[in-house]
Structures are given as structure tokens and as C-alpha cells.
Amino acid sequence: MTTTHNQLTNAFHRTPHDQNTFHFLDEKVTLLVSGEDTNGAYAVAHVVKPANQGPPLHLHEHEDETFYVKRGSMIFYIGEEIIEAKTGDYVFAPKGIQHRFVTGPEETEFILTASPAGFDSFVKELGTSVPANAPLPQVGPPTEEEIIGLVTVSKKYGITYPEIEKEMNKK
């Protein structure tokens, strides 16, 4: 791919395949566009997440995130705002603001864009490569060791978990 002043100059096309699909925590994530594709400008992921699930409250130091709900529903808690999103809705979560989300009562599918890229590398580091047609991972509640691992790797990518880290510091 040719770039000029960090601008992309060639078109590209991506599809799910066995090298870009991961089990990541309780999700199946397909990295449709990585930072390698965009000279670090952004990354795009197709995410399938189980019902009634979501990440803990967290903060991205580097990336803005956008979410396009393809199927299902989600409730976002971004700073002091609560946003109920359904199929076809778009939500923007700016960097530097604590946020979390919870999927609705059904499996939810969404497109996540992170700008600049970096979240894609986080998924690759913590996730497990799976076939593109793999089902969702079967996981239970995270162990203390898994939580410590998540927090440790997350710091490398400028992602913090204020509530979890506060609890960890009490121990």
C-alpha cells in the first residue's frame, strides 16, 4: 500500500478469515482493518458479543471509539451520559472519558472503529486466533489471575480500569 503524508492512496478490501478472527475475552472479534492497513490511522473490528455482557468501566488514553450496532441492542455509559442504542444506531465514545457498555437480552453484533489504531494490536495480544466461522467462546467469570493479566496488558495500550485498579491497590 502506498501512503503520502500518512494518507492512504490505494483502495483495499478485507473479509473475515482464520488469520484475522479471534476469541477475545467473551467476544468473537474479526479485525477487518488493522493499523497495518491504515498506517496507524484507524482499525475496524466486527464484534459478536453474548447477551447481557460488557466490559468493566474503562478509559482509552489514545483512541476514540465508534460503535455501529448491526444486530441487537446495547446500553452505553459514557461519562455521565447513558445512551440506549439499537440495531442501526451509531455511538461515539471519545478518548479520555470513562465508559462501558452492556449488551441487551440477545447476542449483539456491532462494528467497532478505533482511531487511531492500537486496539487491534490489543486484541491480537490478548485474543486467541480462531477460524472465521467459530462460535462465541465459552467462558466463565474471569479469575483474579485473568483480571491481573488484562489490566497489565491494557496499560501497554493506554487502557485503564479505574474501579478494578482501585480494588487491586487495596490488596
Domain count, the chain: 1
pTM of full prediction above 0.85: yes
What local confidence, expressed as pLDDT, does residue 6 receive?
66
**CA 40 from centroid of its chain's CA atoms:** 16
Rounded-to-integer distance, Cα 75 and Cα 56, Å: 13
Instruction: Give the domain extent around 28.
Output: 3-133+141-170
Q: Are 72 and 105 in contact (CB under 8 A)?
A: no
What local confidence, expressed as pLDDT, does residue 2 receive?
44
What local confidence, expressed as pLDDT, does residue 8 receive?
83
**CA 9 from centroid of its chain's CA atoms:** 27
Helix, strand, coil percent content, the chain, rounded in steps of 5: 20, 40, 45
What local confidence, expressed as pLDDT, does residue 76 receive?
98
Buried b (16+ CB within 10 A) or exposed e, 90-124: ebebebeebbbbbbbeeebbbbbbbbbbbbbbbbe
**CA 59 from centroid of its chain's CA atoms:** 12
Sheet containing 99-103: give its strands across.
81-86, 73-78, 99-103
Question: Residue 18 burial (CB < 10 Å; 0-12/13-18/19+)?
Answer: exposed
Q: What is the pLDDT along the chain (171 residues), one digit of tens a residue?
A: 444 456 888 888 999 999 999 999 999 999 999 999 999 999 999 999 999 999 999 999 999 999 999 999 999 999 999 999 999 999 999 999 999 999 999 999 999 999 999 999 999 999 999 999 999 999 988 899 999 999 999 999 999 999 998 888 887
Per the structure block, which three cell numbers stand in for 142? 474471569
**DSSP 8-state symbol, 58:** B
**For the domain that residue 93 is a member of, what is the CATH number?**
2.60.120.10
